[in-house]
Amino acid sequence: DAGVIQSPRHEVTEMGQEVTLRCKPISGHNSLFWYRQTMMRGLELLIYFNNNVPIDDSGMPEDRFSAKMPNASFSTLKIQPSEPRDSAVYFCASSLTGGIAYEQYFGPGTRLTVT
Amino acid sequence: AQSVTQPDIHITVSEGASLELRCNYSYGATPYLFWYVQSPGQGLQLLLKYFSGDTLVQGIKGFEAEFKRSQSSFNLRKPSVHWSDAAEYFCAVGAGLTSYDKVIFGPGTSLSVIP
């Protein structure tokens, strides 16, 4: 199994530009999570999908952030327009099913730098 | 709402020495507890979890953790640390097992190992 795949691994962009992060969960997993990790705030859950449906998006910082899961094998996190304070490592994770009973498998992350 | 604290931001131990990483949680009912490890440049990996039963939980890589309800703690231990254990360690807590429940991560403890 290839594990959770994220692309790109690194993204450098200028303030005001649109950024799209991509995630392919492990095949057969029904739940997908987007996290953001910074030194100041640690690991924060941004949004959580179960069976392609957003269950909890209370962690999405503001309207500039949006996430979609058009099918079971693909999800995107978009930031538009990007700001320097969005610089962070963004992780995607998937698990077999919803809730916390099953282990979350994390991708390698996308390091985003907004200048 | 549940929360978790890790009192130690950074710990340094010598290779071969024992290790204990502290974790305290806040939650009114029985929590579901996890330890994850993050190696440099990688995503998080589950070390072990506690849902119920024996309060001493064995995990991967020789780690164990003990749930102490009276102290609201779930400390991680390893009898002999290897240089490859140098990483960031996250304690996490969950409140329920429905598909709507989520895991809350602590701020992490960075472990350095002296050869």
Closest by CA position to A109, among listed A13, A2, A37:
A37
pLDDT of res. A69: 97
Asked if B51 and A101 come within 8 Å (Cβ–Cβ), the reply is yes
Preferred mutation among B10, B37, B99, B100 to probe A, highest tally of A CBs within 10 A: B99
Q: How far apart are CA A112 and CA A110, in angstroms?
A: 6
Backbone angles phi, psi at A89, to 5 degrees: -100, 125
Torsion from C-alpha of A59, A60, A61, A64, nearest 10 degrees: 180
B29 min Cα distance to partner chain A (Å): 16
Tell me the shortest Cα–Cα distance from A44 to chain B, in angstroms. Answer: 8
Which residue type is seen at A29? H
pLDDT digits (tens, 9 = 90+) for A96-107: 877 777 789 999
Nearest CA in chain A to B52: A101
Whether the predicted pLDDT of A52 surpasses 70: yes
- Reading chain B (115 residues) residue by residue, the pLDDT tens digits are 778 999 999 999 999 999 999 999 988 777 889 999 999 888 999 999 998 888 999 999 999 999 999 999 999 999 999 999 999 999 999 877 776 777 889 999 999 999 9
Arithmetic mean of pLDDT, A71-81: 97
In this complex, is the C-beta atom of A27 within 8 Å of any C-beta atom belonging to chain B?
A: no
> Most distant CA pair in chain A: distance in Å?
40
**DSSP characters over chain B:** --EEE-S-SEEEEETTS-EEE--EEE-SS--EEEEEEE-TTS-EEEEEEE-SS-SEEE-GGG-EEEEEGGGTEEEEEESS--GGG-EEEEEEEE---STT--EEE---EEEEEE-
Tell whether omega for the bond before A8 is within 30 degrees of 0, i.e. cis. Answer: yes
Give the CA radius of gyration of chain B. Answer: 14
Task: Name the residue among B43, B94, B97 with its Cβ closest to that of A91.
Answer: B43
Do the chains contact at A104 and B44, CB–CB below 8 Å? yes
CB atoms within 10 A of CB B96: 15
**Which chain A residue's Cα is nearest to B31?**
A100
Q: What is the pLDDT of residue B70?
A: 92
Judge whether A80 and A13 are in contact, CB under 8 Å. Answer: no
**Sheet of A19-24, strands arranged across:** A5-7, A19-24, A74-79, A65-71
* Cross-strand bridge partners of residue A67: A77
Of B96, B100, B104, the CB nearest to A55: B100
φ, ψ of residue A4 to 5 degrees: the values are -75, 130
How far is it, in rounded angstroms, from Cα B98 to Cα B78?
A: 32
Please indicate if any CB of chain B lies within 8 Å of the CB of A7: no
| B contact set with A (CB within 8 A) | 32, 34, 41-46, 49, 51, 90, 94, 96-108
Q: pLDDT per residue over A12-47, tens digit each?
A: 999 999 999 999 999 999 999 999 999 888 899 999
Distance from CA of B102 to the nearest CA of A (A): 6
